[in-house]
Amino acid sequence: GTTLMITILSALFGTVLGFILYLLCKKSRIVDKVNGCINWFIGGIPTILLLMVLYYVVFVGDASIGDIWVAIIGFTILFGYSMFDILSTSVSAVSRGQEEGARALGYSSNQTFFFVILPQALRIAFPQIKNELVSLIKETSIVGYISIADLTRMSDIVRGRTYEAFFPLITTTIIYFLLIGLILFVVKRVEIRMTLRPFRIKKIKRGINIK
């Protein structure tokens, strides 16, 4: 339960963070430069070190923030910047002619991005998003270093009490496979719905009717 909660909340919050960062950087070059420096810094330190800095330095002595939320904040930052990179790459992969065609039909800049560019970019981004989700659920196995009793940590506790490594480790491995399979199944269903969803004629003609 702890492993799933950290994974799901970090993915949700990280997606929102990455999307907001992309919009801000799109509007301002100064924000883009600052964001690039932060992204470079975060990408240059190990995940476990980031969690330990948050736990022992940033939130030290703050009882209002539990251990689990420190982990969620850390993984949200990591996943958010991954989503920012994925979104930037995917939007760039969409043909420039799509934007020009939408503007020719009367769409505004924001309408063009949200109704034309973004849906196509998300279809391109889904394979990368799936890989990031798999990496995220694997990386949560290190939260035991900041005193969180997640799946991997509990297997260590069982192994330490029973002095038997085979059963707890194999069981934990199987559970991770099941969790990853479940998350990939859900993401795959969302990807299929987005890919096969037909465009509505009214939405396509919306720009033509604008006077």
pLDDT tens digit string along 73-87?
A: 989 988 988 888 888
CB atoms within 10 A of CB 6: 24
pLDDT of residue 151: 80
pLDDT of residue 76: 92
pLDDT > 70: percent of the chain: 90
pLDDT of residue 196: 59
Higher pLDDT, 62 or 27: 27
Place of tokens 């995940």: 47
Chain-centroid distance of CA 141 in Å reads 17
Please name which of 69, 58, 63, 51 lies closest in space to residue 6, comparing C-alpha atoms. Answer: 69
Judge whether residue 13 has pLDDT over 90.
yes
Q: Which amino acid is at 132?
A: E
Please name which of 39, 51, 62, 63 lies closest in space to residue 6, comparing C-alpha atoms. Answer: 51
Give the single-character DSSP code of 201: H
Which residues are CB-neighbours of 34 under 8 A, at least 6 positions away?
none
pLDDT of residue 189: 82
pLDDT band at 109 (very low <50, low <70, confident <90, very high): confident
| The two structure tokens encoding residue 176 | 């991770």
pLDDT tens digit string along 34-54?
A: 777 877 777 778 888 888 888
Contact 81, 18 (CB under 8 A): yes
- Between helices 29-43 and 2-27, what is the axis angle to 10°? 150
Q: What CA–CA distance (Å, rounded) separates 43 from 45?
A: 6
